[in-house]
Amino acid sequence: MSEALRGETAARRERLQQELVRHGLSGCLVTQNVGIYYWTGSMQTGYLFVPASGEATYYVRRSVVRAQAESTVRTVELGSFRGFGAKLAEDYPACFRFGTRAVLGADLDVMPAQLYLRLRELLQNAELTDASALLRRVRSVKSPGEADAIRKAAQVAAVALDEGLRQLREGMTELELMTVIEHEMRKQGHVGLMRMRGYNQEIMIGMIAAGAAAAEPSYFDGPAGGRGLTAAAPQSASTRPIGRNEPILIDIGCCIDGYVIDQTRTAVIGTLPPELARAYEVSVEILRRTERDLRPSISPEQLYAQALEMAEQAGLARHFMGYGADQVRFLGHGIGLEIDEWPVLAKGFADPLEPGMVLAVEPKFTFPGLGVVGIENTYLIRESDCESLTVSPEKLFVLP
């Protein structure tokens, strides 16, 4: 492993330990692959234990050999899971003193209930408490290396979008357009998946849909779901042909070395109907206003409230970020190793933004029977302003 990675993961664990002390926790158990990778540099099956002070240990079931080659922390074989509690107590006597009850944080937002119940049996002198908010807050601030990885993903997404638009023709299906874009991304190193933390939330390479199909509601927690290919995959591209004078929503992500970019552009073959053209202009106005205010000291919920007010003033509140009962209650979201990271530009996120946070801002408007229009960029919060990591041209792409 590189010394840079070793130093970066050590700094991440130090930040986590500071939070554990601040919250009065003896340690933290990380069970989710993404979290294990973030704090160790490896993603093999196992469990990471980070004490409030001292060295962390990565207990690996499979593959121990690969984890030992990749990991930046002490890495040992897990052995029988029945003995995990005893092994932790032996390795961390200060956390599991006889006669005391350690309070341990864990990623309970993603931990299966079966595993939670088993761990409760094994950790007899410990209480597991939900540390998911703590873990997500630590991960919300990106290092320069993480920001660079997202920049690389943005470059690949821009090239793939250009190729998709070059081949776009009337009568091409949504799936065919998606295939062109995905093929180009894969050639340049897109890992082929984009991870989500939310329960039962999945994502393909993004959402490419046109006209009425783009406006069809879906279980996906976003402003546009898409028809999809089947009820077994009810989101994103369908086999519907793309027609003239209808909005084509190209909401794509790209994952390079684990890190994701998220961007949206709107295209049309011909001319957008006036109502949709105006809504697109409002989405750009909301993006520009949000971009101006994306800096430390402002709270995510302020930005969301401001966007709601702008949509209301434009007479488009019913169409903002979905339609009717299917509207989502956010303007954007943190992004990094997962699509749905913190903070979220939504009510309830009152803590101010910090330098190093990376957020995707995606004002969109949905018109049932007609389509979806909007724009989305990913931004890095800097000391006094923000930097757009998205490099695709910001315009309505009009094809003859």
Q: Residue 14: which CATH number?
A: 3.40.350.10
| Domain assignment of residue 48, given as a range | 3-139
Instruction: Find out whether 347 and 301 touch, Cβ atoms under 8 Å.
Output: yes
Q: What is the pLDDT of residues 195-232, one digit of tens each?
A: 999 999 998 888 999 999 999 999 988 999 899 999 99
pLDDT at 98 over 80: no
Q: Is the pLDDT of residue 99 over 70?
A: no
Specify whether 291 is located in the same domain as 393.
Answer: yes
| Structural domains of the chain, count | 2
The band of 235, judged by pLDDT with boundaries at 50, 70 and 90, is very high
Gap between the terminal Cα atoms of the chain: 51
Give residue 347's region: left, alpha or beta (phi > 0; psi -120 to 50).
Answer: beta
| DSSP character at residue 230 | B
Residue with the two structure tokens 């930005």: 303
Residues 214 and 290 grouped into a single domain:
yes
Q: Give the span between the Cα atoms of 191 and 211, in whole angstroms.
A: 29
What is the reported pTM? 0.96
Q: Which amino acid is at 217?
A: P
Neighbours of 227 (CB within 10 A): 21
**What is the rounded average pLDDT of the residues 10-17?**
97
Together in a domain, 189 and 41: no
Examine the domain organization and report whether 21 and 125 are in the same domain. yes
Q: Are residues 63 and 147 in the same domain?
A: no
Q: What is the pLDDT of residue 314?
A: 98
Considering the domain architecture, whether residues 258 and 284 belong to the same structural domain is answered as yes
d(CA 174, CA 131): 41
- Residue of 151, 204, 203 lying closest to 379 (CA atoms): 151
Tell me, what's the pLDDT at 1? 59
pLDDT value, residue 127 = 94
Query: Confidence band (pLDDT; 50, 70, 90) for 157?
Result: very high
Q: Is pLDDT above 70 for 339? A: yes
| Residue of 278, 261, 240 whose CA lies nearest to 194 | 261
Whether 161 and 80 share a structural domain: no
Q: At what angle do helices 174-187 and 144-167 cross, to 10 degrees?
A: 130
| Eight-class DSSP state of 369 | T
Tokens 């007479």 sit on residue: 315
Q: Token digits for 353?
A: 């933004």
Of 139, 171, 206, which residue is a domain's last?
Answer: 139
Residue type, 25: L
- Evaluate whether 373 touches 266 at the Cβ level (below 8 Å): yes
Q: What is the rounded average pLDDT of the residues 251-275?
A: 97
226 and 356 assigned to the same domain: yes
Q: How far apart are CA 306 and CA 323, in angstroms?
A: 19
